[in-house]
Amino acid sequence: SRPPSPLAESLAGAAASSAAFVLTYPFHAATLQIQGRSQSAGQEAGRLGTFRTIRTLFSQGVLFRGALSGFLADGAQSAVYYYFFQHFKNLHGVSKEPLWQLLVATEAAVVTVLITNPLWELNYRQVKGQACVGPSKRSQPSSPRSPASAATKSSEHLLERASRIWGEEGISGFYKGVLPALLLCANPAVLFCAFESSAQWLRKFRGADGLTSLDLFLLGGWSKIVATVVTFPIQTLKADLATPRSVDESGGRPGAHRLLNLLVALERAFLRRIQSGTMYSGLSSKLLQTALRAAILFVFRLRISQRLRKRA
């Protein structure tokens, strides 16, 4: 039979991922807030519970701050990722082998990061209430206890924020967390490898090839839990590198020193997290978000993809 079209997989992935993102966005916002507090105030500040954080953000009217940029970033990322994921699967002739899934998922993730990282940088700054960080204008992440300040900062239009980043920091401002983001390519690689391995085991256990929607839901959630636990420290460091503090401490040197500055900032963020014991701050909210999101995504994406193939 003819292999699936990358375009059809792209559309299915974008639609399913966008729906899952909207349904789980409060957990995404809570994770970023918890990580930000633990970075600036240590382990005790990072212990504020997930649902308490969500209630606090909701009461201040900023729970869905950054939701639009996140929605756009997630939809674009999923469209790009699933297009190249299917493209590389067709290119290598991959079907369901876990190790090949690991390879093509990594290839697709690298391409996706390079294309969509600017959108996620915008989303991170909106959720955290940050303005641009330049040599003459540096602002701190908004405190969850300052709703007036947060509302002022969050009123900045998405395009205005992008323009400010471009004007004060240049193209590098959109790629501050790109190094750990590239390392995070391990996340979808582990996800699809775990999913296919678990799916193969389930098929052998049942003696049947088909998977129900409930199977997809549970396998998707389980696979994402594995991938999230394995790669969460990298995600924490990625969030740290997007803050003014990490940029200021790295020296701010331009040109040929930019990569060195990034590596120095990454090392300092790593040591700071280890010393404060906050490397896994926000993991519980992240697991709730990613496991539920992946479970919804796997069901929707595969069902949408099947319908598109039937119509083709």
Q: What DSSP character marks residue 63?
A: T
The whole-number pLDDT of residue 87 equals: 93
The whole-number pLDDT of residue 302 equals: 87
> Between residues 310 and 224, which one has the greater pLDDT?
224
The whole-number pLDDT of residue 147 equals: 36
CB 185 within 8 A of CB 263: no
The whole-number pLDDT of residue 243 equals: 58
The whole-number pLDDT of residue 312 equals: 64
Nearest CA-CA partner of 156 in 58, 69, 53: 69
pLDDT, the chain, mean:
77
Q: Please, which residues have CB within 8 angstroms of residue 238's CB and are 6 or more apart in sequence?
A: 177, 180, 181, 184
186-198: b (≥16 Cβ within 10 Å) or e: bbbbbbbbbbbbb
Instruction: Write the pLDDT tens digit of every residue in 58-93.
Output: 898 888 887 887 788 888 889 999 999 999 999 988
Report the distance separating Cα 128 and Cα 32, nearest Å. Answer: 7
Nearest CA-CA partner of 246 in 184, 180, 187: 180
The fraction of the chain above a pLDDT of 90, given in percent, is 15
The whole-number pLDDT of residue 154 equals: 43
CB 198 within 8 A of CB 222: yes
Instruction: Write the pLDDT tens digit of every residue in 1-36.
Output: 677 889 999 999 999 988 888 888 888 888 877 776
Report the distance separating Cα 286 and Cα 32, nearest Å. Answer: 9
Report the distance separating Cα 47 and Cα 282, nearest Å. Answer: 8
Q: Residue 39 carries which side chain, given as an amino acid letter?
A: Q
pTM metric for this prediction? 0.67
Instruction: Write the pLDDT tens digit of every residue in 212-256.
Output: 889 989 999 999 999 999 888 888 877 777 655 554 444 444 444
